[in-house]
A and B are shown apart, each in its own frame.
Chain A
Amino acid sequence: MSIVFPSLKPSQRQFSLGTFPTKVYRSLAGTTVKRSFGNKPSSYQLTLEFANVPDSTVSLIIDHYNNTAGGFSRFPLPSSIFAGMDGTLTSKMQQPYNIRWEYTGPPAIQSIYTNISTVSVELLGELNV
Chain B
Amino acid sequence: MASEIRICNFFRLTTAKGVVHRYQNYFIGETKAFQGQNYAFSPFQADGALASLNGENQQLRVLFPSQELVIRLVEDGDGNRLSVLALATAWLTAGGDISTSYTDFFVGTGATFNDDTVELRFRSSMDSVGAAFPARTFTSDNVGVLPLNSELYLR
User: With an 8 A cutoff between CB atoms, is A56 at the interface?
Assistant: no
Could you pull out 20 A-B pairs where Cβ atoms are within 8 angstroms? A32-B3, A33-B1, A33-B2, A33-B3, A34-B5, A35-B5, A35-B6, A36-B6, A37-B7, A37-B26, A38-B25, A38-B28, A39-B96, A40-B29, A97-B29, A98-B28, A98-B29, A127-B28, A129-B28, A129-B29
Q: Which residues of A contact B27 (CB under 8 A)?
A: 38-39
Most buried by A among B2, B27, B29, B96: B29
Most buried by A among B2, B25, B28, B29: B28
Contacts between chains A and B (CB distance < 8 A), count = 40
Q: Which residues of B contact A14 (CB under 8 A)?
A: none
Cα separation A9 to B12 with both chains bound (whole Å):
48
Contact yes or no, B28 A40, CB < 8 A: yes
Contact yes or no, A38 B29, CB < 8 A: no
Chain A residues packing against B (C-beta within 8 Å): 31-40, 97-98, 127, 129
Contact yes or no, B4 A34, CB < 8 A: yes
In the A-B complex, the 5 residue pairs with the closest CB atoms = A40-B28, A35-B5, A36-B6, A129-B29, A33-B3
Q: Which residues of B contact A35 (CB under 8 A)?
A: 5-7
Chain B interface helix/strand/loop/mixed: loop
Q: Which residues of B contact A98 (CB under 8 A)?
A: 28-29
Q: Which residues of A contact B43 (CB under 8 A)?
A: 129
Which of A32, A33, A97, A129 is in CB contact (< 8 Å) with B41?
A: A129
Considering only CB atoms, which chain A residue lies closest to B41 in the complex?
A129
Contact yes or no, A36 B28, CB < 8 A: no
Q: Which residues of A contact B1 (CB under 8 A)?
A: 33
B109-127 contact mask (Cβ, 8 Å, vs A): 1 or 0:
0000000000000000000
B23-43 contact mask (Cβ, 8 Å, vs A): 1 or 0:
001111100000000000101
Shortest A99–chain B CB gap in Å is 11
Shortest A93–chain B CB gap in Å is 19
Cα separation A97 to B41 with both chains bound (whole Å):
15
Shortest A98–chain B CB gap in Å is 6
Shortest A14–chain B CB gap in Å is 26
Considering only CB atoms, which chain A residue lies closest to B5 in the complex?
A35
Considering only CB atoms, which chain A residue lies closest to B28 in the complex?
A40
Shortest B148–chain A CB gap in Å is 31
